[in-house]
């Protein structure tokens, strides 16, 4: 029987079907309706489900799902593979914890830095001994663009351009692109450099909605050979949690 894994993020709801460790389907929603839920469940013989949410609210369809399959709600006690040394573990985002759990499951013998590029960008490391000490949170790519337009009188809202490679802009639009995209690139490279000073061998795992963008802009960096693109890392971490609970 398959497992249904649901990750409710700040922007999107991602629903994945796993057969064991194999990811066989992923669907994206802004909101889940009863009809959409039934369509998904009709495609696969789902026995168990796990839900992780960062929104802090209960969705109406939770109860509908509970009537049809066994549902687990991901919590911090379920990440038993991780030695969590966070100073306030009760405030650690479940998406961040699921991501390091996924990294640990994929690369258990290595030090891993997870860069989750979504609404916010988070940097979280888990070492080869499964120790997690903390991480960093900064504004995401689109949040940076929107902030410049929102908090100024005349700057326009500019879209990201992965093809922009100049280190300066010769007009306002490209000056914004240079500031946002190069600023983000320098930030990411700085975090990677700091983590690499502490680890002999470090995997850099990119995930989240803007992970492909980051992968593109980092392709010419000195760290390109260490980068692993795992857009479904959080989903894989949640699947690892439900598998461990059902074993």
| Helix runs in the chain, H state only | 34-43, 61-66, 94-106, 141-150, 172-177, 183-196, 211-217, 233-246
Asked if 95 and 116 count as a contact pair (C-beta separation under 8 A), the reply is: yes
Q: Counting beta carbons within 10 angstroms of the beta carbon of residue 109, is it exposed (0 to 12), middle (13 to 18) or buried (19 or more)?
A: exposed
Place of tokens 């989750």: 116
Tokens encoding 70: 């066994």
Tokens of 245: 């609970």
Question: How is residue 156 annotated by DSSP?
Answer: P
Report the half-sphere exposure of 11 (CA within 13 A, side-chain side): 10
Catalytically annotated residues: 95
Token match 């598998």: residue?
243
What SS3 state is found at 187?
Answer: helix
Cα atoms in the 13 Å half-sphere on the side-chain side of 239: 26
Strand partners, 18: 3, 23
Pairing of strands 120-126, 111-117: antiparallel
């Amino acid at each position: 029987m398959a497992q249904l894994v649901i990750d409710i993020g700040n922007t999107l709801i991602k629903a994945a079907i796993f057969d064991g460790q194999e990811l066989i389907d992923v669907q994206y929603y802004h909101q889940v309706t009863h009809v959409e839920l039934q369509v998904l469940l009709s495609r696969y013989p789902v026995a168990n489900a796990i839900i992780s949410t960062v929104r802090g609210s209960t969705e109406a369809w939770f109860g509908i799902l509970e009537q049809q399959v066994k549902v687990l709600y991901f919590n911090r006690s379920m990440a038993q593979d991780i030695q969590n040394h966070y100073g306030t573990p009760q405030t650690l985002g479940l998406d961040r914890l699921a991501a390091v759990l996924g990294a640990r499951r994929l690369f258990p013998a290595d030090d891993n830095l997870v860069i989750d590029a979504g609404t916010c960008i988070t940097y979280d490391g888990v070492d080869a001994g499964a120790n997690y000490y903390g991480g960093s949170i900064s504004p995401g790519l689109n949040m940076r663009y929107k902030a410049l337009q929102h908090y100024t009188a005349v700057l326009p809202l500019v879209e990201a351009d992965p093809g922009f490679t100049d280190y300066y802009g010769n007009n306002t639009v490209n000056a914004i692109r240079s500031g946002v995209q190069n600023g983000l690139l320098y930030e990411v490279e700085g975090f990677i450099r700091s983590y690499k000073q502490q680890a002999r061998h470090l995997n850099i795992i990119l995930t989240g909605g803007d992970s492909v963008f980051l992968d593109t802009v980092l392709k010419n960096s000195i760290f390109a050979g260490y980068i692993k693109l795992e857009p479904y890392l959080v989903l894989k971490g949640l699947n690892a949690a439900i598998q461990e609970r059902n074993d």
